[in-house]
Amino acid sequence: MSNSLLDALTAAELHCPVITAGDPDYDRYRRVWNGIADRRPAAIVRPQDIEDVQRAVRAAAASGALLAVRGGGHSLPGLSTCNDGLVLDLSLIRSVVIDNTAQTVEVGGGALLGDLDRVTVPKGYIVPAGVISHTGVAGLTLGGGMGWASRKYGLTIDSLLGAEIVLATGDVTWTSPTWNPELFWAIRGGGGNFGVITRFRFQLHPFSGIVAGQWLYPIERARQVLSGLHGLAREQSNDFAVSFTVSPSGINVTAVWYGDAGLARAALSPFGTLADGATGGLENLPYLTLQSRNDAAFAWSRRYYAKGGFWPDISDGAIEHIVAAITQAPTPDCEIYAIQLGGAIRDIPDDATAYTGRSAGYYWLSEPIWDDMADDDRCIEWGRTTGRLLSDSSIIGNYVNEQGDSGSNIARDAYGPEKYQRLARLKARLDPANLFRLNQNIEPQE
Spatial CA neighbour of 342 closest among 150, 143, 128: 150
| Residues belonging to the chain | 446
Mean pLDDT score of the chain, rounded to an integer?
97
Task: Identify the DSSP state of 145.
Answer: -
Residues 92-130 have pLDDT tens digits of 999 999 999 999 999 999 999 999 999 999 999 999 999
pLDDT given for residue 284 in this prediction:
86
Residue 408 pLDDT > 90, yes or no? no
Q: SS3 for 7?
A: helix
Using CA atoms, how far apart are residues 283 and 94, in angstroms rounded to an integer? Answer: 32
Residue 1 pLDDT > 90, yes or no? no
Residues 124-165 have pLDDT tens digits of 999 999 999 999 999 999 999 999 999 999 999 999 999 999
Alpha helices by DSSP H, listed for 327-431, are: 376-390, 408-430
> What secondary structure does DSSP assign to 257-310, as a single string?
E-S-GGGHHHHHGGGG-SSTT-EEEEE---HHHHHHTTTTTT-TTSEE--EEEE
Q: SS3 for 126?
A: strand
Are 404 and 306 in contact by the 8 Å Cβ rule? The answer is yes
pLDDT given for residue 404 in this prediction:
95
CA angle 164, 166, 172 (to 5 degrees): 70
Average pLDDT over residues 313-340: 97
Using CA atoms, how far apart are residues 230 and 235, in angstroms rounded to an integer? Answer: 9
